[in-house]
Amino acid sequence: MKYEIIKDYREAKFRSITGVKPSTFQVMVEVLKDEYAKVHEKHGRNRKLSIEDMLLLTLEYYKEYRTYECIGASYGLNVSNVSKTIIWVENVLIKCGLFRLDGKKALIDPNTEIEVILVDSTETPIERPQKGQRRYYSGKKNGTQ
């Protein structure tokens, strides 16, 4: 989903899609625009995506746990470009202090009232049945079936 489609959504719907408030999204976009201007002030090719779409792509990746292939298909990008975009956005937001990779809940900085995004990047094991169980295991404990 591209930013042009969701930019006019109500705050609740925007937050349910992106995981952040529109005001926080705009603060993040301003930080990314400043950094992009610094990097490309003398030379460099323009990217295919706008800054807003790059940020939206990154937020989709963390909110929905989509693969690079799926995101690339949605935005018309190669997998390597999706990876580079996500890494660049992460690094810029981490450097400015708006993004952390250590939890799932959002925090609000009491001094600035800017929402800080926390992303849970821990892996959890998947519970699978043991190999020794019968094919039609019912789950009963007493052995009666």
The confidence score (pLDDT) of residue 109 equals 43
- The pair of structure tokens assigned to 51 is 């800054």
Q: What is the DSSP secondary-structure string of 74-104? A: HHT--HHHHHHHHHHHHHHHHHHTSEESS-S
Report how far residue 55's alpha carbon sits from residue 29's, in angstroms, rounded to the nearest whole number: 7
Highest mean pLDDT among 46-50, 79-83, 110-114: 79-83
The answer as to whether 137 is a domain residue is no
The answer as to whether 140 is a domain residue is no
The answer as to whether 142 is a domain residue is no
The answer as to whether 123 is a domain residue is no
- Structural domain including 36 reads 3-97
Report how far residue 35's alpha carbon sits from residue 31's, in angstroms, rounded to the nearest whole number: 6
Integer distance in angstroms from the first to the last C-alpha of the chain? 50
The answer as to whether 20 is a domain residue is yes
Q: What integer is the mean pLDDT of 23-44?
A: 85
The confidence score (pLDDT) of residue 112 equals 47
If one counts the domains in the chain, the total is 1
Question: Three-class SS of residue 108?
Answer: strand
Per-residue pLDDT tens over the stretch 87-142: 998 888 888 876 665 543 444 444 445 555 555 555 556 666 666 655 665 666 66
The answer as to whether 67 is a domain residue is yes
pTM: 0.66
The answer as to whether 129 is a domain residue is no
The answer as to whether 19 is a domain residue is yes
